[in-house]
Amino acid sequence: MADSDPLILLREAIKTQGPYHPTASSDPASPRVELAQATHLAFPTRGIALPIATPTRFISNDKPFDLRSIYFAWLNRDQLIPQYNAEATALNESLGDKGKVQNLGYIEKLDLITWLEGAESEYIVPLAGGEAAAAGGEAATAKAGAAASTARAGKGTLDPRLASVYNGERKMGDRNTVLRGIKPTDFSHVRKLATPFLTKKSQSAPISTTANPTTSVSSKVSGRRPDPIILLSPSASALLRLNNIRSFLQDGRFTPADTAASTASMLHVQRSMPSIDPNRPLRFILVEGPEQFKPEYWNRVVAVFTTGQTWQFKNYKWSSPNELFKHVLGVYVGWRGDAPPDNVKDWGHRVVSTAVDRWRGDGHDASRFRDKEITEQIWKAIETAMVHKGWRKDAAPSSI
């Protein structure tokens, strides 16, 4: 049930800042213990203590992660991947034969943390039968009713005539309770009725002849579209690094990379791209290297920022720049007035070469008016390349 689902309980506790802690007992009121000694995760305000080894709906590589691994990932949400892995190894040694923390890749970890903070997830399997929607609708209705009752009552006694009016009110529900009622409805029989029509349609569908015949779009109908990835150059000479790329791509303002310290191993920015999805912005993941990549992540890479140094591509799927930029858009950002490196010129039109005004120091914001123009030029090139590669409103390329 939704009210005892470990992921929903943990997400609600984080949102409401309610108490939750590991314990060595099934009693929700039992005291906190170290995670290595815990047998349960307690939610005292809900009167629930779930076994720490309970499998959850967070699935990666067809394997569900247990509650201990999810809780551990949340505790270490600000850790870099090497530190996170070291903490997981130390905890596994302390656990011995009592269990094991399952390691998360950094894309999965980011996905889980953002879901616990209120976003969507491509790794969490929805509750069966719409239980989550029904539970959410009932909770929202009850909360609204309680708030209205408190507002009407005020500090004094409610006027009897006004009370009679309120008693005659028609109680309204939200869209979930109106459409589904108080019990989840099973629509699985509809799938059997629709199968002949879907099969006939797939057999008669014309073969697509696009400009890039090697690009195929994922046939996955359900589920969340994966986030596109942008790779940055790890070179110390790069003008754009993790600590200044967000202000440039999201706000259209350049600041030197050495003016702000950053310990983040990845960032994400949002950008509206009407030609791909006119209704909602796309979320882009920004990283400086592919060391933690799984093979399928390369199909999500939409741009590579480079300084023209070929050592950057040593660990890439395509280590040859000429081959790399046949699959992925390249972006070079230098100083205005300086000629691009010879390597960038040799790579041709597959690398967008741009330049920003030199940094004159704080207090010279008026001279940065052209930064926005360069930012828009880069985003336009990325959007055009994504459309060409097969990014759609509800799907991403299965190969690039």
10 with 74: CB under 8 angstroms? yes
Of 94, 125, 156, which marks where a domain is finished? Answer: 125
* Cross-strand partners of 22: 41
Q: Tell me which residue range forms the domain holding 275.
A: 229-399
Shared-domain flag, residues 242 and 119: no
Shared-domain flag, residues 382 and 233: yes
Tokens read off for 368: 């940065």
One pLDDT digit (tens) per residue for the chain, 400 residues: 556 888 999 999 898 888 899 999 999 889 999 998 999 999 998 889 999 999 999 988 788 999 999 999 999 888 877 888 888 889 988 888 888 888 888 788 888 888 888 877 778 888 765 444 444 444 443 444 444 444 444 444 566 677 777 777 766 655 555 555 555 566 667 777 777 777 665 555 554 444 443 343 343 434 578 899 999 998 888 999 988 898 899 888 888 887 655 667 788 899 999 999 988 899 999 998 888 888 889 999 999 999 999 999 988 999 999 999 999 999 999 999 899 999 999 888 889 999 998 888 765 666 688 899 999 999 999 999 999 998 988 888 888 8
Q: Tell me, what CATH number does 314's domain have? A: 3.40.50.11990
Shared-domain flag, residues 114 and 244: no
335 found inside a domain: yes
Of 103, 125, 147, which marks where a domain is finished? Answer: 125
* Cross-strand partners of 356: 335
121 found inside a domain: yes
Cα separation values, 281 from 116, 227, 274, 318, 398, Å = 20, 11, 8, 29, 21
34 found inside a domain: yes
Shared-domain flag, residues 118 and 236: no
278 found inside a domain: yes
Of 101, 125, 149, which marks where a domain is finished? Answer: 125
Q: How far apart are CA 364 and CA 361, in angstroms?
A: 6
The CB-based long-range contact list for 59-67 (8 Å cut-off, 24+ gap) reads 59/123, 59/124, 59/125, 60/104, 60/105, 60/108, 60/123, 63/102, 65/102, 65/104, 66/99, 66/102, 67/6, 67/10, 67/41
83 found inside a domain: yes
For residue 72, give the nearest of 35, 110, 47, 105 by alpha carbon: 35
217 with 398: CB under 8 angstroms? yes
pLDDT in tens, 305-344: 999 999 999 889 999 999 999 999 999 999 998 999 999 9
250 found inside a domain: yes
269 found inside a domain: yes
Place of tokens 């890039």: 212
Shared-domain flag, residues 240 and 383: yes
How do 301-306 and 351-356 pair as beta strands? unpaired
Q: How many domains does the chain have?
A: 2
190 found inside a domain: no
Shared-domain flag, residues 234 and 120: no
Shared-domain flag, residues 246 and 387: yes
